[in-house]
Amino acid sequence: MIEVDGISKRFGPIVAVDDISFSISRGEILGFLGPNGAGKTTTMRILTGYIFPDTGTARVAGYDIFESPIEVRKHIGYLPENNPLYTDMSVWDYLEFIAQVRDIPKSERRRRIDEVIQICGLESVIYRDIEELSKGYRQRVGLAQCMIHDPDILILDEPTSGLDPNQIVGIRELIKELGKEKTVIISTHILPEVSATCNRVIIIDRGKIVADGSPDELSDMARGKLSIFVSLKAQKEDVEAKLSELPWIESFTEAPSTEEGALRYKITPSDNDGRTEELFKLAVQNGWVITELYREKATLEDVFRQLTTQDEVAA
């Protein structure tokens, strides 16, 4: 559905996007991640036809962004981060206006408006002016406008911004359902949202793609991959001496402990085999009392931090 081929974009001396290429298929829900100034918003604006790249091109739903920009826009539903709305209009009037702009036939408008109102949970506010709505309901109106023409591709910039926890769960489930038939791109800073919603993640940093894969695949990229946490009651010098002798421990650091009189360590193994049984045996042999022992896999947040270390700049 989307093919990006070597696009670059500069704003004066700043390289916002630097020769990136990727493709997205129908049915993929892509999390597009990166720190502020990494090039996420610039890339999305290129795909939606708001700006053009300096070099390279992209095809959206089979249409080239240079040759057929109007056709590209017909196949995209876009929710920008700032969610611009005509706040002096009622929800119903606004959605009817968007339906006209999107050239939905008059005979189909009522049905499409009713559908997006139900999908986005707007039944109770359809006759209220948008300026009277909470930020959460305004976000729902923004989602409704980007879906009203039933596009093949949805590009959502911070789609759950301002929503309460129950609304966030509802929007996540909606995105998953839409992703069965459509291509969905989500840009967000909420990493657990990506893990819960997306089946693929691209991380961009300083205008370049630094990672591309499923959330699990990216988690496995993290240095150490696995951490072992152990809390025990013993002499600190004795414990650290014994841990230093184990060949499979790459490193260990003392971690904060909430238990009085207990030492707590975060251990990074050199492999991904777990090794908790070996730690338990070591404790038994030395008469240590273990009060906590568990493994923790690296998270998407760990990968993000490792791959995006730049200072924040303007995008």
**pLDDT tens across 55-77, in order?**
999 999 999 999 999 999 999 99
Check the CA dihedral 103-108-111-115 and report its sign. Answer: negative
Lowest mean pLDDT among 20-29, 125-134, 225-234: 225-234
Phi (first) and psi of residue 262, to 5 degrees: -110, 145
Residue 163, pLDDT score: 74
Residue 37, pLDDT score: 83
**DSSP-based three-state secondary structure for 118:** helix
Tell whether domain 226-297 is in CATH 3.30.470.20. no
Residue 225 — pLDDT band, cuts 50, 70, 90?
Answer: low
Residue 315, pLDDT score: 43
Could you read off the pLDDT of 6-58 as tens digits, one per residue?
999 999 999 999 999 999 998 899 999 888 888 988 999 999 988 999 999 99
Selected from 1.10.645.10, 3.40.50.300, 3.40.1190.20, 3.40.50.1820, the CATH number assigned to the domain covering 2-216 reads 3.40.50.300
Average pLDDT over residues 271-297: 84
Helices and strands, counts by H and E, the chain: 11, 14
* Domain-wise residue ranges, the chain: 2-216, 226-297
Which residues have a Cβ under 8 Å from the Cβ of 171 and sit 6 or more positions away? 143, 159, 160, 163
Give dist(CA 259, CA 290) in Å, integer. 12
pTM exceeds 0.75: no
